Amino acid sequence: MSLYIKMFSWIGRITAMLLFFLWGAFFIEHLTEWFNDAGHLPPFSVFVVQFFHLLLLIGYIAVFKWRIVGSLIIIVSAFIFFASIGAKAMLSFFAISIIPAVIFLFIFYFEKKILSTKSADNREQVKE
């Protein structure tokens, strides 16, 4: 693995961890706010939206073990979550939230490209 791939892999891990703590704090704060008074729970649609928020957090953890699956979970859940809350800054929140996913998808692409280049070089050496 090249030095750049290792470096970007660590950058992806660190950003995933930081975003997990950032969005996790919002998730916990909202849940504690809603469940303080059990008699006045929010509507079911809020729970559906919070499911995608939870899925976003799961994606940040999953990306440590399964880069591609975790990245796809992050992208899909972030899009659905931020689109459903209707925030004016939805694109900004979405773009910031998918940074680790984009990093890991680029790493996957470049690792695949490096492997295909090496195998092509090996085939050329065998022919000679």
What string of pLDDT tens digits covers the 128 residues of the chain? 588 889 999 999 999 999 999 999 999 998 888 878 777 888 888 889 999 999 999 999 999 999 999 999 999 999 999 999 876 788 999 999 999 999 999 999 988 877 677 665 565 555 55
Given this model, what pLDDT does residue 123 score?
58
Q: Residue 77, exposed/middle/buried by CB under 10 A (0-12, 13-18, 19+)?
A: buried
Cα-based distances in Å from 38 to 33, 42, 71: 10, 10, 35
Parent domain of 69 = 3-127
Spatial neighbors of 1 by CB under 8 A, at least 6 apart, are: 111
Our count of domains for the chain comes to: 1
Given this model, what pLDDT does residue 113 score?
79
pTM: 0.84
Quickly list DSSP for 92-114: HHHHHHTHHHHHHHHHHHHHHHH
